[in-house]
């Protein structure tokens, strides 16, 4: 069996975005049940020099949608990065998953050899598609999803590994 570029990034992105949305929904329930101001969670950080939960979710979303778009040769949807509530962050994750579901395997044909270019805060980068998926897109997506999970767990939201991985088996 051969794994395609579509298989490597789209189903994983959909799963991670849906799992992130579910984790965020659990955080909202936690805050309501314990009468915690949800803004505390939205603005929480693991360390003073790290981005808060809101930015972690935005970057996870951007990683999934921009990464897939670059490989498929399409334009991703534009999100304003103006989410201020846990509900808005969960909705962004769900919108990202919904957009990823519109992509088709045919759009990724030849993507493993396609040159992918992107800008970081300090530089412009490029690499071939396969190394991009393995060494940039997926690690970055998982880093920001993990960090969002860690922020919530650190702040007392009762989450476990299966919340991060997802309770439904992948297809």
pTM, two decimal places: 0.94
pLDDT in tens, 19-63: 999 999 999 999 999 999 999 999 999 999 999 999 999 999 999
Question: 121 falls in which pLDDT band (50, 70, 90)?
Answer: confident
Question: 2 falls in which pLDDT band (50, 70, 90)?
Answer: confident
Structural domain boundaries, residue 131 = 5-164
Does residue 46 sit within a domain?
yes
Does residue 65 sit within a domain?
yes
Q: What is the CATH number of the domain that holds 28?
A: 1.20.120.450
Does residue 39 sit within a domain?
yes
Query: Taking a C-beta distance cutoff of 8 angstroms, is the pair 37, 155 a contact?
Result: no
pLDDT in tens, 57-111: 999 999 999 999 999 999 999 999 999 999 999 999 999 999 999 999 999 999 9
Of 63, 52, 8, nearest to 27 by C-alpha is 52
Question: 120 falls in which pLDDT band (50, 70, 90)?
Answer: confident
Query: ∠23-53-10 over CA atoms, to 5°?
Result: 60
Report how far residue 3's alpha carbon sits from residue 67's, in angstroms, rounded to the nearest whole number: 17
Q: Give percent helix, percent strand, percent coil of the chain, each to the nearest 5.
A: 60, 5, 35
Does residue 170 sit within a domain?
no
The total of structural domains in the chain comes to 1
Is 118 a residue whose pLDDT tops 80?
yes
Does residue 171 sit within a domain?
no
Does residue 169 sit within a domain?
no
């Amino acid at each position: 069996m051969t794994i395609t570029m579509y298989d490597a990034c789209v189903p994983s992105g959909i799963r991670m975005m849906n799992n992130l949305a579910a984790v965020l929904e659990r955080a909202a329930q936690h805050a309501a049940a314990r009468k915690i101001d949800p803004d505390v969670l939205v603005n929480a950080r693991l360390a003073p020099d790290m981005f808060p939960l809101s930015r972690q979710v935005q970057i996870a979303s951007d990683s999934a949608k921009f990464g897939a778009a670059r490989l498929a040769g399409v334009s991703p949807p534009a999100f304003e990065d103006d989410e201020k509530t846990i509900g808005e962050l969960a909705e962004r994750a769900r919108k990202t998953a919904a957009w990823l579901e519109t992509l088709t395997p045919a759009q990724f044909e030849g993507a493993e050899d396609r040159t992918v270019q992107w800008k970081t805060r300090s530089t412009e980068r490029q690499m071939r598609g396969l190394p991009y998926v393995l060494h940039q897109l997926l690690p970055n997506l998982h880093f920001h999803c993990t960090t969002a999970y860690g922020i919530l767990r650190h702040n007392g939201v009762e989450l476990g590994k299966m919340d991060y991985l997802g309770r439904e088996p992948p297809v």
